[in-house]
Structure 1
Amino acid sequence: MERRGFLISLFLLNILIRCGGYWKVSGCLDWERKALTTFRKSLNDSSSRLSSWDDTSDCCNWTGITCNNKTQYVVHLDCSRLGLSDRIDPAVVELKHLQLLDLTYNAFNGIPIPQFVGSMKELRHLNLSEAGFSGRIPHQLGNLSHLISLQLSSFYLTSDYYPSLSSENLWWLTNLTSLKYLDMSYVNLSTASYDWLHVINMSPSLIELKLFQCGLSYISPTLASVNFTSLRVLDLSYNNFNSRIPNWIANISNLVFLDLSRNQLNGNIPAGLGGLSSLQSLLLSMNQLNGNIPAALGGLSSLQYLDLSENLLNGNIPAALGGLSSLKSLELEENRLNGTIPTSLGKRSNLSSLDLSDNSLTGNVSESLFENLKKLEGLHFSSNSLVFDLHPDWVPPFQLQTIRLGSSHLGPRFPPWLRTQKYVTKLDLSNTSISDIMPTWFWDLTPQLFLLNLSNNEISGQLPNLLKMQFYVYIDLSFNRFSGPVPCILNGSTLLDFSNNQFSGPIPPNFTSTMRYMEFFSAAHNQISGIIPSSIEELKHLVVLDLSQNNITGTIPSRLGNCVALEALDLSKNRLSGGIPMSLGLLSQLQTMHLNNNTLSGEVPSSLKNCSRLETLDLGYNNLSGHIPTWIGKSFPALRILSLRSNMFTGNIPPQLSNLTSLQILDVAQNCLSGTIPQSFENLTAMKNKLKPNGCLSYIQTRMLYYEENLLVTSKGQTREYTRTVSLVTCMDLSSNNLSGEIPEGVTSLLGLRVLNLSRNHFTRKIPDKIGKLTLLESLDFSKNQLSGTIRQSISNLTFLSYLNLSYNNLSGRIPLGNQLQTLEDPSNYIGNNGLCGPPLIDNCAGDETPQGPLPGSTDHVKENEKEYEMRWFYTAMGLGFPVGFWAFCGILVLKKSWRIAYYRFFVEMKERLFLTVALWDVRLKKFLEKLGH
């Protein structure tokens, strides 16, 4: 009876559990509802996405909760993408039957993963990716023996707010015998580099392994046996293996996806990879792989995506790749491939993207290559030496979305087949030898364009007055022959380059009305006239504004100061007048300002001191006046170029300029400056550096377009424009002023100087003794001063010198010879110094003989003068050497007793030897005479 009663009770209990009984509140088990309520209270649900979690309602109907239909146990807790933060209450452990916990894409603000998660032993799926956790992964997760998938990717944890997840080793994974899917991408595994592979090799059930960017630095080249043969997805990209591709990878026969990109892998691509018959994606980009592309890859009949881009691969593209019948994308760009494009690639009817750009491919491209490419959407052949030989009436079988053919030969006609392409969003035909009038039908293609690059051609014609484009678009029409007015761009433009064309007329007043999000605008080197419209203030996102080398008149609009994002402002070489607006001081992000070659007047406004990020300030060739502001030396710590050339500045050169430790180029020539060169100039650190200056001054990047720095520098007697090499120039030009006094010796400590010009001033006394220390000097001009004394012999140490001008001073004495000076044979370098003599001048120095033979300036003449010079020094040295040596020896005898004794003994011995030798010769002579007498 007792046994029967127990069975009845158990039966009734089972009924109660199944039907809900007193444990259930509206279908939800009471203790689980309470656990979830406690769990919710620990969370910061600022977006109220858990508002359905009512204390009295059925928790099985709450957001993110899934219950078992029969038992009503909570089996799924999905709180992904709810914006939760704060902490996780241990009450969640009460969900004893939970099989899935998903907290992805939340913001737990760097808290560690709770150790108690490791006690939720019924979990099958745990996903904590991008949830805001940091610190060490608790090894207690190894207790979750039923886990099928574990996802701990921590991409969003690499911010500055908190560190990423990490794990000292992976041995805790060995207990997860049911694990099939493991994603620990972005987790710091640097300390597990040498054993991670052995642990993974103990997980034979793994199907997917993703260890993207984990700081791994070692991958074993060999494995005794490969146990994870079930693996279908292997992603080890963005680590730092710096080794060859391991051969054991070819033994994972079930691989469908293999990504080893950006790992500094080197050596050849193993031909064994051609045996992975199930492989659909092979991604080996951004490594240092070399050698040929193995023809064996052509046997991968299932391959859909092949990416070998950005390596060092050479040789031809194997024709065998044309046998990849399933191929959808082929990426071979940025290698060293040569030869022609195999026509077999044209047989791949599933191919949607073909990228062969940035190689050394040659040959003609004809219609036969594209005959079967009906699904092609992306064609990338830029930066090769390909010649397109297409019939004018050819109609392509495809509809392309991306066309990149830059640096191919398409011209001289504009490609007529483009008219058939209705869905193009990106078009690059830059530098393609097109010298044609732009067809009017082309502008019908532009409404859907996001990128248009026609630069570096000879395309002519006018643009429509209203050009309709996408809202965010990149347009580069530079270096062509477009003419007519500057058009308005409907819908706006982010990057716009109209430079180096023949556009004329004024900038439309409403030019900015549809382009308020523009970041880059250049119309430099055109024939634009009129004024800068005041509506320019509407371009709040403008980073680069370049209107240089036009015919723009009027004043600089004060509203330009409202373009607070500006980093580069170039209005040079126009006809602007008036003063520099105070409002330009609002441009606190400005790095380069060119207002040179205008007719600006007045003083430099003090508001510019707020532009503290300036690296280039070029105000040269204007009518600016007043003193050079002393605050320049304090306000611009990053200034590398200061040009105030050809203005009307007066007063002294401020010694505060020596605080500009990054200054490479100082040009204040052609002003009315007086006083002396500040002694503190020896502290100009960047000019003291013999090495290449740090950083790059050549451009300011704005996505795909950039502003290239430029500067006019007077060097070697000529004014030259420097662009990309301006960061290599170190120059001090103080010429054509009223400076006086002595050239300070401290100037010779500026060892990095390549150009030094102090000409046309009133400097007196001598050339600095240590001028020869400036060994990098290429151009030295001290002409038209009042320097006196001799030319220092150390000047011959300037082995890079290719321009020297010391004319019209009061120098005297012999002109030094030797090294680079002998190549500077122009007498005008020294003319106007009546006291100078010797080559290359025709005036001989005192004591020189009348020259015989070769004319002055010839090579033979120089050689003879060198010999004469050397012989004079030889005889002089002999004359000085004898008395110096004699008295030095006598002095030692007086001071050193041991030397005197040794010297006396030496002479006694020499006397005895001499006496004996004479006696022997006397005896021999007598015997010889006696023989003659007989």
Structure 2
Amino acid sequence: MLVFVSLLLCMGSFINGGLTSRYKEDASMMVMRSCHDKERHALLGLKANLVDINNTLNNWRSKEKNDCCQWAGVSCDKHTGHVTELDLSSSYSYVLSGNISPFLSLLPQLEYLDLSGIDFQFNPIPNSLTSLTSLKGLTISGANLSGPIHHHIANLSKLDFLDLSNNFLSGPIPDSLGDLTSLTEIHLSRNRLEGVIPTSIGNLPRLIELDLSRNLLNGSVPDFVRSTFLRQLDLSRNRLTGNLPNSMGKLSNLRYLDVSSNSLTGVIYDVHFQTLDVLIYLDLSFNSFELNLSSNIGFELLTIKLQSCKLGPSFPMWIQTQRYFAYLDISNAGISDFVPAWFWDLPPRLRFLNISSNDIKGTLPDMALVFEDYPGMDFSNNQLEGMIPLLPSKLAALNLSRNRFSGTLSFLCRIDAALTFRDLSSNLLSGTLPDCLKKFYEKLVVLNLSNNSLSGEIPSSLGFLSELQALYLRRNAFVGEVPTSLNNCTKLRFVDLGENNFSGNIPAWIGETLSELYVLVLRSNRFNGSLPSQICFLNNLQLLDLSNNLLVGNIPRCFGNFTAMATRRFQDDITSHSYSSYVATLPNATSVGATEYCPGLDGGFLSCFTNEDALFIDNALVAWKGTQRQFERGLYLLKSIDISSNKLYGKLPSEITNLRELVSFNISNNKLYGEIPKHVGQLRYLDTFDLSRNEFSGNIPLSLSNIDRLSYLNLSYNNLSGRIPTGTQLQSFSYTSYSGNPQLCGPPLIQICEPSPPPATVVGEEDVQDEEDELWKSYYIGMSSGFVFGFCGICGALFLNCRFRYFVFASSNNMKDWIHVTVVHFQSLRMKFRR
């Protein structure tokens, strides 16, 4: 019985305990589901300050008993019901816009706040944000914030993560930021911040990551000796000066160091890497550093970027200790030496190798290497020579330009079809284009074979390159017509076939199928026939060069339809072509921004790779102010037409003045005639204007003097006449700009203009009739008045003088005849004037 009772008691206790536990769990669930009314109203106030075009905050409603802890982006403490996390980030898509609401200050327990990607329309960070004293993480990146970072940020004493990157913040970094001793990460990159880096930041004891890149910071690199946990330091793209502190070598946990693109100086010794045993990423490029490293350095880097540092003149021997690098850039490093044999035993994980723009001599060895990925190699602008040897079959990019390589292009047939970029320009290569080029149809983006001795016709197989964006065949000896198969290359944006021996008509299909073209250069060939009007279909065309050919006929009136030359749109991205086929295959890679790809610093990655290193920048040789000039980085700003040195005739269409963004216009050395369009002054951005050696006549339009940007003008050897319009602009040019026009006068010419007659007005037929009537009305009134006064005088004389009376009557017959003749004469004059 006692056992039974005990069993019942145990069961009751179990049941009661279970019920109590269940009740507690339900109570906990009830607390977790509810939120404080004050905080719910604060969130609704936040919503009221935002424009929500995608209805992202649809479930944020003001109904009673509507639990804000269940709202999108809101997290609450499950015990207290206070809002602890608010994440409204929108991945830079700007689906939300407006202001940062002051109601946020009514969330006293908020620990994590992420408002990234909201368009705050260049409003500043409100001071109310600094009242969130429980905040541990604050992220507002890519949100169009402006103004300074307030020094009251020190009120956020618990803050351990701060990300205000990619905004328009300006002013200095507050020194009070160094008072936040709990900070582990600071990200302030991509703003307009200026001033020195506060030394207090270098004293943060828990700091792990610091990114201040892409600002306007000046002064020296602070001492980070107290930030012993620092793993990632990025101070790149600022205006820092001075030396790299020796204390940098004491940061034993540092794995990522980037101080590139500053104005830093000094010698880099082993002491700078004294304890950096775990360093794997080093970027010192674009400074004035001189590296003096021994072969005993203890780290092995995965990414080495030393572009424009001084490593030479001898080849840096310390690189022999780097056996596992995936990225090596020692370009423009003052090396004038032969490459040692050990260097060509490249790591199998190589992804990018750049030794360009040095004075490296010798030949390339056979490199039958097998890489795990498809690397890019840049050996350009050196003194390398000889036949191009056996190259690795797996290549994504190859740049051998501006060397002295000779031989044919047959080596290309041994490279894998994954090659996306090939620049072999400015060498001594000869022979024809191999038919095997068609195997690159899936990947090849850029093909540059300019400035060689290649010959023959373009094979029709080139039309298989459907991904091709840039084709350079300039300055070779190619002949024949442009093959029709190229109309399959519909992604072409840049075509330069200049300075060859191409012939035939300019294909009309260029305008019909290559709609992406922004540069078309066919200069210095033997193209004949008329200008096809289909070229006018190229709405993206910004540079057209058809000069020095055998073209005849008129300039089509539709030349005024080039949209890109008529409207202002600066697209810097059109001049560059991404050629890396392996960017998207980086292990553990995450997209950091629009142009960056960077694996995290934790585990299993090879290097941080920026897409900016994988760009080919278009370049064009343009006739500019009487000489040839190479345009590269600023090519997207150039809008130019050059059809000079042909056999074109007819008038210059007035529609050409529609191209209001035109910068350079050259139609010299043709047979064009007629007047210069009087509205030429509408080309307000014109810098170069050359109409010389044609048959233009008439006056120089007065509107030409209104183009204040004009710096080169040549109207010489035409049939222009009259006075050169006065004004500081046209008189500032040399007399040679106007010579060869015998009837032209005025400064800067020595021919003096004749005094100008009173300005004539243009009148119509009715105006002429009115003037005639007024003329004759005045004549008749004057004649009548004179007759009356004369008659009275004569009658008086006749009455008073007898002898005079006889004389008058004797002469009356003669007077009658004189009046008759006079009237007839004036009537004849009137009829003549009417005619």
Flag whether TM exceeds 0.5 (same fold). yes
* Residue of structure 2 aligned with 1:374, choices 252, 255, 261: 252
244 and 666 in structure 1: CA distance in 2 versus 1, 3 angstrom threshold: closer
- How far apart in 2 are the matches of 1:780 and 1:224? 62
**1:284 counterpart residue number:** 164
Listed one character per residue, the Cα deviations across residues 786-810 of structure 1 (whole Å, up to 9, x for unaligned) are: 4445544454444433333333344
- How far apart in 2 are the matches of 1:756 and 1:415? 52
720 and 353 in structure 1: CA distance in 2 versus 1, 3 angstrom threshold: same
* 1:500 corresponds to 2:381: yes
1:755-904 aligned within 5 A: 755-826=664-735, 828-844=736-752, 848=754, 872=756
Q: Which amino acid aligns with 2:154?
A: G
SS in 1 for 2:319: helix
SS in 2 for 1:320: helix
Q: Does 1 or 2 have the higher relative contact order (CA < 8 Å, sep 6+)?
A: 2
- How far apart in 2 are the matches of 1:319 and 1:459? 37
Deviation at 1:609, TM superposition (A): 0.6
- How far apart in 2 are the matches of 1:664 and 1:574? 27
- On the 8 A contact 1:566/1:587 being kept in 2, the answer is yes
**1:420 counterpart residue number:** 297
**1:899 counterpart residue number:** none
- On the 8 A contact 1:299/1:323 being kept in 2, the answer is no
- How far apart in 2 are the matches of 1:471 and 1:124? 54
- On the 8 A contact 2:114/2:138 being kept in 1, the answer is yes
- On the 8 A contact 1:471/1:493 being kept in 2, the answer is no
**1:699 counterpart residue number:** 576
* Residue of structure 1 aligned with 2:619, choices 710, 713, 738: 710
Deviation at 1:271, TM superposition (A): 3.9
Give the structure-1-normalised TM-score: 0.67
- How far apart in 2 are the matches of 1:551 and 1:122? 83
Listed one character per residue, the Cα deviations across residues 61-120 of structure 1 (whole Å, up to 9, x for unaligned) are: xxxxxxxxx99xxxxxxxxxxxxxxxxxxxxxxxxx9x9xxxxxxxxxxxxxxxxxxxxx
**1:544 counterpart residue number:** 421
SS in 1 for 2:486: helix
- How far apart in 1 are the matches of 2:577 and 2:739? 45
Deviation at 1:605, TM superposition (A): 0.3
Listed one character per residue, the Cα deviations across residues 605-626 of structure 1 (whole Å, up to 9, x for unaligned) are: 0000111122221111001111
309 and 714 in structure 1: CA distance in 2 versus 1, 3 angstrom threshold: closer
* 1:566 corresponds to 2:444: yes
- On the 8 A contact 2:59/2:71 being kept in 1, the answer is no
Deviation at 1:600, TM superposition (A): 0.6
Give the % identical residues. 35
**1:308 counterpart residue number:** 188
1:468-479 aligned within 5 A: 468-471=346-349, 473-479=351-357
* 1:320 corresponds to 2:196: no
**2:330 counterpart residue number:** 454
- On the 8 A contact 1:404/1:429 being kept in 2, the answer is yes
Deviation at 1:533, TM superposition (A): 3.1
- How far apart in 2 are the matches of 1:496 and 1:220? 52
- Equivalent pairs counted in the alignment come to 706
Deviation at 1:645, TM superposition (A): 0.8
- On the 8 A contact 2:429/2:453 being kept in 1, the answer is yes
- How far apart in 1 are the matches of 2:477 and 2:460? 17
Deviation at 1:692, TM superposition (A): 4.5
Deviation at 1:283, TM superposition (A): 2.8
- How far apart in 2 are the matches of 1:395 and 1:685? 55
- On the 8 A contact 1:240/1:264 being kept in 2, the answer is yes
**2:234 counterpart residue number:** 355
Q: Which amino acid aligns with 1:169?
A: N
- How far apart in 1 are the matches of 2:63 and 2:702? 76
299 and 721 in structure 1: CA distance in 2 versus 1, 3 angstrom threshold: closer
SS in 1 for 2:490: coil
- How far apart in 2 are the matches of 1:876 and 1:278? 82
Listed one character per residue, the Cα deviations across residues 424-478 of structure 1 (whole Å, up to 9, x for unaligned) are: 1111112224443222341441x42222222333223333563413535123333
239 and 817 in structure 1: CA distance in 2 versus 1, 3 angstrom threshold: closer
- Aligned-residue Cα RMSD (Å) equals 4.3
**1:527 counterpart residue number:** 404
Q: Which runs of 5+ in 1 are unaligned?
A: 1-6, 19-69, 72-96, 100-120, 126-141, 148-162, 186-195, 849-868, 895-934
**2:283 counterpart residue number:** 404
Listed one character per residue, the Cα deviations across residues 601-657 of structure 1 (whole Å, up to 9, x for unaligned) are: 111000001111222211110011112112112111122222111111122222222
1:371-770 aligned within 5 A: 372-391=250-269, 396-399=274-277, 400-411=279-290, 414-416=291-293, 419-445=296-322, 447-463=323-339, 466-471=344-349, 473-486=351-364, 488=367, 490-491=370-371, 493-508=374-389, 510-513=390-393, 515-516=394-395, 518=396, 520-536=397-413, 538-564=415-441, 565-689=443-567, 691-692=568-569, 696-702=573-579, 703=611, 704-770=613-679
- How far apart in 2 are the matches of 1:620 and 1:362? 45
Deviation at 1:835, TM superposition (A): 4.1
Listed one character per residue, the Cα deviations across residues 253-292 of structure 1 (whole Å, up to 9, x for unaligned) are: 5544333333334444344443545443233322333333
Listed one character per residue, the Cα deviations across residues 36-55 of structure 1 (whole Å, up to 9, x for unaligned) are: xxxxxxxxxxxxxxxxxxxx
1:97-116 aligned within 5 A: none
- How far apart in 2 are the matches of 1:177 and 1:659? 59
- How far apart in 1 are the matches of 2:481 and 2:672? 28
- On the 8 A contact 2:452/2:476 being kept in 1, the answer is yes
Q: Which amino acid aligns with 1:779?
A: T
- On the 8 A contact 1:669/1:734 being kept in 2, the answer is yes
SS in 1 for 2:194: strand
- How far apart in 1 are the matches of 2:353 and 2:166? 28
Deviates more, 1:657-666 or 1:532-541: 532-541
**1:219 counterpart residue number:** 100
- How far apart in 2 are the matches of 1:289 and 1:794? 44
* Residue of structure 1 aligned with 2:60, choices 160, 170, 176: 170
Q: Which amino acid aligns with 2:734?
A: E
Give the structure-2-normalised TM-score: 0.74
- On the 8 A contact 1:221/1:245 being kept in 2, the answer is no
Q: Which runs of 5+ in 2 are unaligned?
A: 36-52, 580-610, 778-835
SS in 2 for 1:666: strand
Q: Which amino acid aligns with 1:721?
A: Q
- On the 8 A contact 1:245/1:269 being kept in 2, the answer is yes
- How far apart in 2 are the matches of 1:833 and 1:679? 27
877 and 603 in structure 1: CA distance in 2 versus 1, 3 angstrom threshold: closer
**1:329 counterpart residue number:** 209
